[in-house]
């Protein structure tokens, strides 16, 4: 699936990932391939994603995520 992490200034990451763990407003949740569509507010924490090169993290203060059609779009501020 494709992950895009976007800030107001630039695209922080765009690429193919196996999984994404996000700090949702109600707690951590993981997105895998073929996940049902969803939109969620994000709380302060870390976005953790697994790509071919291993696990990576991006610290965030707040944001929103949309998941649809094997694409995860994270907009942070």
Question: How far is residue 54's CA from residue 34's CA, in Å, rounded to a whole number?
Answer: 21
Q: Tell me the per-residue pLDDT of 42-55, one tens digit each, with 9 for 90 and over.
A: 999 999 999 998 99
Which H helix or E strand runs over 20?
A: strand 19-24
- Based on the structure, what is the number of domains in the chain? 1
DSSP state of 33: T
pLDDT the model gives residue 47: 97
How confident is the model at residue 77, as a pLDDT?
A: 84
pLDDT digits (tens, 9 = 90+) for 18-64: 999 999 989 999 999 999 999 999 999 999 999 998 999 999 999 99
Distance CA 51, CA 61 (A): 23
CATH number (domain holding residue 70): 2.60.15.10
Q: How far apart are CA 16 and CA 7, in angstroms?
A: 18
Q: Which domain holds residue 22?
A: 2-76
Q: Is the full-model pTM beyond 0.85?
A: yes
With pLDDT > 70 as the criterion, what percentage of the chain qualifies?
A: 100
Angle (nearest 5°) at CA 44 between 38 and 45: 90
């Amino acid at each position: 699936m494709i992950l895009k992490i976007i800030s107001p200034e630039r695209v922080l990451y765009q690429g193919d990932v196996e999984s994404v763990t996000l700090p949702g407003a109600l707690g951590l949740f993981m997105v895998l391939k073929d996940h049902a569509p969803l939109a969620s507010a994000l709380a302060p924490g870390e976005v953790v994603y697994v790509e071919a090169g291993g696990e990576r993290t991006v610290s965030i203060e707040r944001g929103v995520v949309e998941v649809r059609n094997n694409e995860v779009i994270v907009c942070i501020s």
